[in-house]
């Protein structure tokens, strides 16, 4: 099965590609090395800085993704910087040495690699230093940022403090000057419990070599850089990290690479490419098809809704057109994420969503419109509540004034707070869980009633 799936990809690939793999006795993929002709060309042009990201799947296999990371590299597209994919047989010195040697054999430009960026948990540094003796191995600023984010959540801090630390971290990443890094170091040293400080490795914030490569970026460029890597790693996780089948994960990832040909045009012409979408339950379409679908959605909005309602929804559609959206479906609901908090869409008429816009106005929000766009569908009259068909409302001011509800505001505030509390309880220690649960238990009993009547 693995042989069939991978060979089909080779046949479909319009350009020659390197695809070396080994299948175990149980017919499962054991090792893999993949590089398209386009990826090889990108690395040959920008080999100086190599960024290595690792993605684990439920079976314990790890996908190594090599990306170019030299300053001023003008490549648009979420995986346009990816230049090599590899799955070693084992993540030990022998398995990784073999993986790096295959990479070097097919990429003579490896000798020009000056810096290799890795994550804090990357242990086989001696193997990397042996295979790339002239390169300096450094922690990547992106992985340090993700490491600290994870530690903040694990500490189970009070919500205001956690938000303040996350905001300070984000601001520092977008302007990684020595002064800002020192301020973040002082802030964490002051407010993090002393017993927890060693686990945060705050000395990384004072290691100028880690942050030097980011000083040339403006605040906006730094924000785009980190956001781009965030989306790239999320696509890798969605494709490879969520399925136990290594073969299906690799096939989904390579098919996505092949279908997003806009990345190639961006590299060869030096221009910005069109919006790219992450893998969804619908195969990616050409830009012309996407534009046609969006035009049909706009027409259906203008034809079915009142003028003010269409105006509100077209604003939501504009966000969809400029954004990356990840779509996954279950038996009854569709999960939509537009680089923000995840919301749940109920596609059956009248369509509904858990976001504030839909809850407040009962109109198709960006998440519902993203679902329609991905499915190549248009808005139908039965997807709107009775008060919104054309000819019912008067002006946008009337709509905004009439739809505000104090009860709804309270309901959404409580729902948000409940979700935050649930997340905190899931990620704290058992001791902390029991303490916080006891506090909630006392609150519920004092407000509502004894334990027999109140189920938390």
In a domain, 424, yes or no: yes
Return d(Cα 278, Cα 339) in angstroms, integer.
11
Q: Do 99 and 226 fall into the same domain?
A: yes
Residues 251 and 360 in one domain: no
**How far apart (Å, rounded) are the C-alpha atoms in residues 162 and 114?**
37
Q: What is the pLDDT of residue 67?
A: 94
Return d(Cα 80, Cα 19) in angstroms, integer: 18
**Is position 397 within any domain?**
no
Residue 395 covered by a domain: no
Same-domain check for residues 384 and 429: no
C-alpha of 324 from chain center: 9
Read off the pLDDT of each residue in 112-122 and give the average, rounded to a whole number. Answer: 92
44 CB burial (10 A radius; 0-12, 13-18, 19+): middle
Region 376-388 average pLDDT? 76
Sign of CA dihedral 346, 58, 28, 259: positive
pTM exceeds cut of 0.95: no
CA distance 327 to 322: 16
**Are 240 and 379 contained in the same domain?**
no
Where does residue 77 fall: left (phi above 0), alpha (psi -120 to 50 degrees), or beta otherwise? left
What pLDDT was estimated at residue 108? 92
Most confidently predicted of 157-166, 262-271, 307-316: 157-166
The residue that leads in pLDDT, 331 or 26, is 26
* Within a domain: 453: no
Same domain, 171 and 255: yes
- Return the pLDDT at 231: 85
Same domain? For 36 and 185 the reply is yes
DSSP, residue by residue, 217-256: S-HHHHHHHHHHHHHHHHHHIIIIIS-S-HHHHHHHHHHH
- pLDDT score for 299: 75
Same domain, 370 and 239: no
Q: Tell me what percent of the residues of the chain surpass a pLDDT of 70.
A: 69
pLDDT for the residue 116: 94
> Do 123 and 34 fall within a single domain?
yes
In a domain, residue 274? The reply is: no
Same domain, 293 and 349: yes
Asked if residue 157 is part of any domain, the answer here is yes
pLDDT over threshold 80, residue 17: no
Considering the domain architecture, whether residues 357 and 424 belong to the same structural domain is answered as: no
Confidence of residue 14 (pLDDT cuts 50, 70, 90): low
Instruction: Give me the pLDDT at residue 379, please.
Output: 82
Mean of pLDDT over the chain: 76
Residue 243: its pLDDT value, please? 78
Mean pLDDT value across residues 285-306: 67
In a domain, 56, yes or no: yes
Q: Which of 130-134, 233-237, 262-266, 410-414 has the lowest mean pLDDT?
A: 262-266
Query: What is the structure's pLDDT at 400?
Result: 53
Do 118 and 91 share a structural domain? yes
The residue-averaged pLDDT of 295-301 equals: 76
pLDDT average, residue stretch 72-92: 82
Best-predicted range by mean pLDDT (120-129, 264-273, 278-287) = 120-129
Bigger pLDDT: 254 vs 319: 254
Q: Which has the minimum average pLDDT: 29-38, 394-403, 438-447?
A: 394-403
Task: Please answer whether residues 2 and 32 qualify as being in contact, where contact means their C-beta atoms are separated by less than 8 angstroms.
Answer: no
Answer yes or no: do 41 and 155 share one domain. yes
Tracing tokens 């990345």 back to the chain, one arrives at 263
Q: How many domains does the chain have?
A: 3
Summarize the confidence of residues 146-151 as an average pLDDT: 90
Contact 360, 403 (CB under 8 A): yes
Is 275 inside any structural domain? no
* Percent of the chain at pLDDT exceeding 90: 17
pLDDT at 133: 92
Take residue 428 and report the two structure tokens written for it: 């704290």
Residue range(s) defining the domain that contains residue 38: 1-260
């Amino acid at each position: 099965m693995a042989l069939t799936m991978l060979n089909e990809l080779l046949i479909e690939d319009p350009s020659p590609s390197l695809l070396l793999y080994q299948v175990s006795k149980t017919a499962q993929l054991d090792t893999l090395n993949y590089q398209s002709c386009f990826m090889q060309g990108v690395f040959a042009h920008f080999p100086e800085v190599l960024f290595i990201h690792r993605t684990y799947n439920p079976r314990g296999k790890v996908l190594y993704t090599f990306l170019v990371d030299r300053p001023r590299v003008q490549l648009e597209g979420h995986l346009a910087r990816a230049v090599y994919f590899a799955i070693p047989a084992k993540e030990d010195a022998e398995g990784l040495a073999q993986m790096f040697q295959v990479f070097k054999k097919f990429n003579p430009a490896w000798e020009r690699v000056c810096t290799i960026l890795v994550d804090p948990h990357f242990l086989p540094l001696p193997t990397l230093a042996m295979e790339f003796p002239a390169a300096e191995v450094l922690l990547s600023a992106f992985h340090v940022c993700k490491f600290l984010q994870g530690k903040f959540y694990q500490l189970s801090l009070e919500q205001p403090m956690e938000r303040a630390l996350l905001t300070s971290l984000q601001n520092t990443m977008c302007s990684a000057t020595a002064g800002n890094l020192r301020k973040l170091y002082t802030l964490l040293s002051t407010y993090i419990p002393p017993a927890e400080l060693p686990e945060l490795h705050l000395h990384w914030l004072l290691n100028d070599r880690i942050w030097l490569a980011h000083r040339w970026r403006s605040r906006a460029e730094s924000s785009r850089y980190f956001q781009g890597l965030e989306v790239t790693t999320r696509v890798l996780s969605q494709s490879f990290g969520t399925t136990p089948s290594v073969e299906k994960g690799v096939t989904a990832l390579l098919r996505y690479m092949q279908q997003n040909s806009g990345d190639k045009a961006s590299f060869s012409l030096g221009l910005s490419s069109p919006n790219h979408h992450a893998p969804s339950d619908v195969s990616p379409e050409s830009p012309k098809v996407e534009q046609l679908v969006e035009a049909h959605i706009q027409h259906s909005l203008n034809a079915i809704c009142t003028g003010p309602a269409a105006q509100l929804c077209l604003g939501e559609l504009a966000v969809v057109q400029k954004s990356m959206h990840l779509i996954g479906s279950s038996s009854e609901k569709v999960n939509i994420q537009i680089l923000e908090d995840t919301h749940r869409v109920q596609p059956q008429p009248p369509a509904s969503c858990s976001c504030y816009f839909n809850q407040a106005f009962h109109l198709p929000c960006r998440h519902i419109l993203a679902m329609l766009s991905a499915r190549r569908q248009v808005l139908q009259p039965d997807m709107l509540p009775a008060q919104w068909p054309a000819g019912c409302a008067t002006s946008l001011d009337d709509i905004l004034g009439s739809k505000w509800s104090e009860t709804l505001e309270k309901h959404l505030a409580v729902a948000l707070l409940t979700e935050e509390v649930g997340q905190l309880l899931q990620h704290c220690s058992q001791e902390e869980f029991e303490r916080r649960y006891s506090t909630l238990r006392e609150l519920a009993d004092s407000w509502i009633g004894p334990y027999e009547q109140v189920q938390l």
